[in-house]
Every structure is written in C-alpha cells, then in structure tokens.
A and B are shown apart, each in its own frame.
Chain A
Amino acid sequence: MSGSHVHALYRHGTSPLHHAAPQVKVVAAFGFVMAVVSTPRTAVWAFAVYGAIVVALLAFARLSLSFVARRALVLVPFLAVALLFPIIGSGERIDVLGLSLSVDGLWDLWNVAAKAGLGFLIAVVLGATTEITDLLRGLEALHMPRIVTSIIGFAVRYIDIVTSDFARMRIALASRGYRARSIAAWGVYARTIGAMFMRTYERGERVYLAMLSRVYRGTMPAIDGIPVPGAQWFAAAVFVGSAMAVMIMSRTMS
C-alpha cells in the first residue's frame, strides 16, 4: 500500500528544509501566507518578490517542476471560478481579443491567481518536506488541541484502508459483470458507499475495542515533542520578517 494518497504529498530528501522542525515550518508557512494575502493586488512587484522567494525554496528543497505541476491540479476549481470575474465584473471595461472584460474583474482574477498560486506553492514545499506524522507533532507542539490532531491522525491512518476497501468493492462489482452505463447506474455506487459507511463504522467499533483493551481512558497519550534548535526559529523569523517587510512596503506605496 505504498501508493498511498496522503503520503504522496511527501518527497523523500535530505535538504535542510527536510530536516527542519515541523512546527517551525508550519509557523513560517503560515506567516508567509499571511503576508501574501495582506498585500494589495496592484503591488505586482511584491508578488514577483514572493514568487522569487518561493521558487528559491522549491530549488532549495530540490523539488522538480514536474512534481509541482502534477499537484497544481488542485488549483483548477479556484481558477475556473476566478475566470468568471472579468466577464461578470462591473465598472470600466476593455477589449481583450474581442471580448469586453471588466478591468476590476481582471484585477480580481489576478488577485486570486497570484495569492492562491503562492499559497499552493508554499503548501507544496511544506507537504513535500514534512512527513505527515511529523506535521502532526508540529501541530501538537503549537498547542493544537489533541482531539484535533488525533482525528487527523486517524484519518491519515485509515484513508488508505478505506480507499482500498472501495477499490475491492468496485472489482467485485465489475467481476459480476457490472458496468456503469448511465446516471441510473449511480444508484449502485450510492449503495456501495452506504455499505462502505457501515464497514467503516464497524471498523471504528473494533478500533475502539482495541483502544479500550490497551487502557484507553478518553485522552490520547501525548506525542513526544521534537526539540528545536534556536537557529531554526531565527531562520524562520528572517523568512517571515522579509515577507512582512515586502507586504508593509507594498501597502505604504499603494
């Protein structure tokens, strides 16, 4: 089951980013995204600076363009919606390739594309250099409630099992001659999903029994923290500080 969905985000490597403590990376990524989203959309130069920083990070983590491009599909729905802004936008209009487009709408499109793109790239760097288990430790070190990290942990642990259960059910359907030919066939999939729900529920019960058998009393044991060298926090502060400085300059200039 190594072709897992969740772990596909991670790229094994030895760069300093891979070795950095997860909580430092989470804080740095969050700070950077905060700076990006607070930047006025007209400060194009600022987005160019952010872009350069992110590209440098990608290179630093030795992530290839194709690795990033394959994950960029997640942006498609956001961009598809944003593409409507110039068409349905109001105010001053200009002609582009024979289409009458709203200037304000075009700025909105740019705003969404630039900010979503930068947010996506920084998330790729974080996900590709941090194992999901370390990410959970990092979140716990940042005092995210243990109930939340436990829920994420269970989801990560069992998503592969649930998806492989579903794949087996599809094979069982196909083996008995089932082929989805029309929308009417979706009813079969709906029932399959119902059956999946029951199986998952039953597994949940069995997991809970196994937890009780090992003296679970309602709270998950604490996960050991990862010690963080001061230099890593310093590097993160410089990184976030630079992005914040760019953001403040862009706001004062606009």
Chain B
Amino acid sequence: MSTPVVDIQGLGFAYPDGTVALSDVELHIHRGERVALLGPNGAGKTTLILHMNGIHLPQTGTVAVSGLPVRHDNLIDIRRRVGIVFQDPDDQLFMPTVREDVAFGPANLGLKGRDLDERVEQALATVEVADLADRPPNHLSFGQKRRVAIAGVMAMAPEILILDEPTSNLDPASRVDLTGVLDELDVTQLIVTHDLLYALEICERSVILDAGRIVADGPTRDVLGDEALLAKHRLGLPAGLRVEDLDRP
C-alpha cells in the first residue's frame, strides 16, 4: 500500500497541567480520502489536528505526513504539506486584503512576483472568490470569509486539507456552497466536526475521538448507524433521524 498522507502511531499528549489530551492514537489517512473526525466537545480533536502540522510535537508515538516525520527540524515542510482551516475565519484572515491574505502562506514559502500572483489567482479561482481579491476581509460575509480562508490554505498546495468545524455558523445555503467547494478540491481532506449529518453527506469514512482515544473508525454509514456507540460518546443524529432515512441521492 502507498505511504499514507497522515500516519499517526501510538500518539500520546498531555498538557503541562497534566491533563491527558490524547492517548495511544492510531490514525492513517490515504491519498484522496475524505475523512470525518467526530467527537464531543473536549474530546481532543483540535489537539490532534495541531499535531499534524507540528504546532504540538508528539510526546509519545509518532506522526508522519507523506512519510516525513513531524519533528522540529521538518516544520516548514510539514506546514506546507498540511493546510488547516481554523474554525473562526476571523482568526485566519489577518492581512489587510483578501489577495494579501491568500499570498501570506506562499510568500512565506518563498514564492515571489509572477509565481506568487499566479498561485494566488489560482487559489481564489478554485473557491470562486476571484472577484473579492481587493476587498478587506472585514467587508465579507461569513460564507465568503470561509471560502477565502480555504483559498489561503489551498494557495500553499497542501497534501491534506484539514477543516475545523467548517459548517459552524453557516446558513443552509452557504453550507451547500461549501460542499460544492470541497467537492471541487483535488486534495485529501480531514473534516473535524460534530455535525454528523454533514459527515454523512460528504465523508465516506468517519473516525470518532473521545477522551483522547480513537473509539471508532470505519465507513460513515456504519459508524453513524450504531446508535449505542453514538450515545456512549455523546453524539447522535438529530432526534428521530436514522442513517437509513438519509440515503444519498
């Protein structure tokens, strides 16, 4: 089998106050997959994704991205390979204009002049926001900010795109738009969410993390069809809904 894009083995992590955030996490994501990472609040989802781009370094176990171990001396390369779209786009869009914001990552990777411009134009076109290039981020709608945040990460040509709660605060129309955008992206995706319907809608595979451990990993329909499992980990489809009722068209 090919080298996984994300290869996490025996990962453990505790915060300085002793709180154990992750223990013995095993996760492998292969090229082209779109995986949902599910879990209740405080399960360790964000801590886990911050290990994938080296914001946190493993205390025990290993994390590797396309075969490259996440270590202090590899951080630049790791962060180029792993693009994270954070939950609040206002945290992510910090430059004065959309164009400058999208250029931030590739410019840090050393792109300049024409190459940089082309990369930015391409990323903006991918998420269909080319017309917003010269606007300041605070003049955008929430859905537009989300798209621009994705463009800023895609401009770094990552090998995996990680989205932290991408549907939070989105109205139903923007949610449909987001699905359209994600479908168009030719990149491995990890979607962190507790929006189970969204996971069912767009991810073939789901992983449940609870109390820092992976407690389920399999086809989304199987994982979400197990009501006892969901209830045990403080997850559940909206009242009265079952997976069988929600067959994909």
**Which chain A residues lie closer than 8 Å to B153 at the CB level?**
214
What is the bound-complex CA distance between A136 and B109, given in angstroms? 23
Known: A214-B105, A215-B79, A217-B108. A161 touches B90 (CB 8 A): yes
Question: Is A1's beta carbon under 8 Å from chain B?
Answer: yes
Residue among A136, A160, A214 making CB contact with B96, cutoff 8 Å? A136
Question: Is A203's beta carbon under 8 Å from chain B?
Answer: yes
Question: Is A84's beta carbon under 8 Å from chain B?
Answer: no
**Which chain A residues lie closer than 8 Å to B156 at the CB level?**
214-215
Question: Could you tell me which residues of chain A, from 1 to 21, have a CB within 8 Å of some CB in chain B?
Answer: 1-2, 4, 7
A223 contacts B100, C-beta separation under 8 Å: yes
Name the distance in Å between B74's Cβ and chain A's nearest Cβ. 12
**Which chain B residues lie closer than 8 Å to A2 at the CB level?**
139
B105 contacts A215, C-beta separation under 8 Å: yes
What is the bound-complex CA distance between A209 and B94, given in angstroms? 12
B86 contacts A210, C-beta separation under 8 Å: yes
Question: Is A207's beta carbon under 8 Å from chain B?
Answer: yes
Residue among B55, B93, B105, B152 making CB contact with A209, cutoff 8 Å? B55
Name the residue of chain B whose CB is nearest to the CB of A2: B139
Instruction: Bits for B98-112, please: 1 = Cβ < 8 Å to A, else 0.
Output: 001001110111000
**Which chain B residues lie closer than 8 Å to A132 at the CB level?**
96, 136
Residue among A7, A136, A207 making CB contact with B91, cutoff 8 Å? A207
**Which chain A residues lie closer than 8 Å to B125 at the CB level?**
none
Question: Is B57's beta carbon under 8 Å from chain A?
Answer: no
Question: Is A186's beta carbon under 8 Å from chain B?
Answer: no
Name the residue of chain A whose CB is nearest to the CB of B139: A2
**Which chain A residues lie closer than 8 Å to B53 at the CB level?**
213
Given contacts A215-B76, A215-B109, 10 further A-B contacts (CB under 8 A): A7-B139, A136-B96, A207-B94, A213-B79, A213-B86, A214-B153, A215-B156, A216-B104, A217-B76, A221-B108
Closest 7 CB pairs of A and B: A221-B107, A214-B105, A215-B108, A133-B96, A206-B91, A210-B92, A215-B79
Q: Please name 9 pairs of A and B residues whose Cβ atoms are closer than 8 Å in the assembled complex, sorted by A.
A: A7-B139, A154-B94, A161-B138, A207-B94, A210-B84, A210-B92, A211-B94, A213-B53, A214-B153
